[in-house]
Amino acid sequence: MKEPRYQEIVDSYPCDQGVYGKMRGEALKAVSEFNDLYQHPEASDVIESADKIRSRIVRRKEVGEIVEISSKLADVVNGHSPEMVAKALYMGLCTKHRTLQASAIKAILGLLKLYKDTDYDLRNRAAVVAAHVISQVVEDESLYIPLI
């Protein structure tokens, strides 16, 4: 199979996808899983055990904290240059344990894999395309970041 080139990837994304909420692939699955976590069971559904309910509450709290962090990151980028934010993120990350550094990079690559399938318009099209290109390299090179 021919390896896709950058321009082919760019051309595969129309200039303006338009309507918000047109996610596909992995992004759509992620949103569905997130929504399932917050969905309340219907009365006709099987009653959840107390342990399952507690587990769901803990998971909601964990996911909510991560969503809040990512939202704060977007706000910070709004007030500062992306380069300065990248340097500050680097300084914060490089002081952590090496395994945590690897886990953080693995999470960032996972974010890009999801983001390539997100909805977009002309304001974030280049970011979505970049996420696709990086994800393609990761996949083509079978890049693996072990947790040691």
Over residues 131-145, the pLDDT tens digits come to 999 999 999 899 888
pTM of the entire predicted model:
0.79
Q: Which two tokens stand for residue 68?
A: 């809040």
What is the rounded CA–CA span in Å between residue 93 and residue 87? 10
Please name the amino acid found at residue 81.
S
As given in the structure block, the two tokens for residue 139 are 């996949």
pLDDT digits (tens, 9 = 90+) for 77-117: 998 899 999 999 999 999 999 999 999 999 999 999 999 99
